[in-house]
Amino acid sequence: MSRRTDAPGPAQLRAIYQRMTDGILIVGDDGTILAANPAARRMLPDGGSGPTGAVFGFPIADRNAVVIELLGAGGRVRTAEMRVSTLDWHGRPARLLILRDITEQTELMHRLHLAANYDPVTGLPNRLLFEEYIGQAIREARRHGHRVGLLFVDFDGFKRVNDTFGHDVGDLLLRRIGRRLHRALREGDSVARFAGDEFLITLTQVKDVHEASVVAAKVLAAFEAPFELDEHTVATTASIGVAFFPDDAADASELLRRADGAMYRAKAEGGDRFRTCLASDE
């Protein structure tokens, strides 16, 4: 024998409506908000004053789920997953919007993404994100017949800075180095921190060796002026190795190895210079 379950009455439905953690909005065909529960009000600018009569500022159509951003109470941006369905509201068509606040989950995912893909000291892309980017650049170069240039940048005497002034000053120097590198690049190029005092610069759509050499010379020139760091004046120079796809390497790992070798050649010659790595060198 099946057990009969009574449907909730109006008072129970109102209590559920008031206490739900998901926001519930009833919106007319013209976008006017007809009703909102407390959870929905917290996601909207009006907050506790009630948004009824305001216009909901997103296109509304029946859909399973879409992520939207709302300027919530107190001016904080809230991220919500919105589901939409049609209903009859006092004899006229309207939309039922269910808003699930996913702000905390979204912010956590953003923090995890930053931790996984960006260097915590400089804020630049890390090796993992660089490998993704250089792989994409090479795939595009294969498709369109372009070159990709890779600059492997190592700073001369960086260990001496850490040993003399401490790691806090060393980290500050790395952040300032990252900024100068970024300013020296062309639009569309990118810089990443590889490890320690080593940085990688990806040059996309390189026409010839000369074009990459111009960028390398500009990077060297960016470090002619010393850094002022917490009452310390620190001068540093760079050793740069330059390699090209497809001239020097057929894939990203080989390109990195060839640029690294060219960098060590520049360092062995005294630093503060760049050296290219052409397949004909071997």
Over the stretch 102-160, which tens digit does the pLDDT of each residue have? 989 988 998 888 889 999 999 999 999 999 999 999 999 999 888 999 999 999 988 88
- Whether residue 282 has pLDDT greater than 80: no
How confident is the model at residue 3, as a pLDDT?
A: 54
Same domain, 209 and 267: yes
5 pLDDT band, cuts 50/70/90, is: low
Number of domains into which the chain is organized: 2
Q: Please report, to the nearest 10 degrees, the dihedral formed by the alpha carbons of residues 234, 237, 173, 114 taken in order.
A: 180
Same domain, 172 and 75: no
Would you say residue 111 lies in a domain? no
Beta strand pairing call for 23-28 and 92-101: antiparallel
Same domain, 69 and 172: no
Average pLDDT, the chain: 86
Assess contact for 251 and 257: CB atoms under 8 A: no
Rg (CA), the chain: 29
Same domain, 19 and 126: no
Would you say the pTM of this structure is higher than 0.75? Answer: no
Give the range of the structural domain holding residue 167, as residue numbers without chain letter.
118-281
- Whether residue 163 has pLDDT greater than 60: yes
Query: Residue 160 belongs to a domain with what CATH number?
Result: 3.30.70.270
- Whether residue 279 has pLDDT greater than 50: no
Average of per-residue pLDDT across 87-99: 89
The domain boundary, picked from 84, 106, 128, lies at 106
Cβ contacts of residue 96 below 8 Å, gap of 6+?
24, 25, 26, 84, 85, 86, 87
The domain boundary, picked from 85, 106, 127, lies at 106
Structure tokens at 83: 């589901």
Same domain, 50 and 140: no
Catalytic residues: 197
The predicted-structure confidence for 255-269, as pLDDT tens digits, reads as follows 999 999 999 999 999
Query: Residue 48 belongs to a domain with what CATH number?
Result: 3.30.450.20
The predicted-structure confidence for 231-257, as pLDDT tens digits, reads as follows 889 999 999 999 999 999 999 999 999
Pick the more confident residue, 22 or 44: 22
Structure tokens at 13: 């439905």
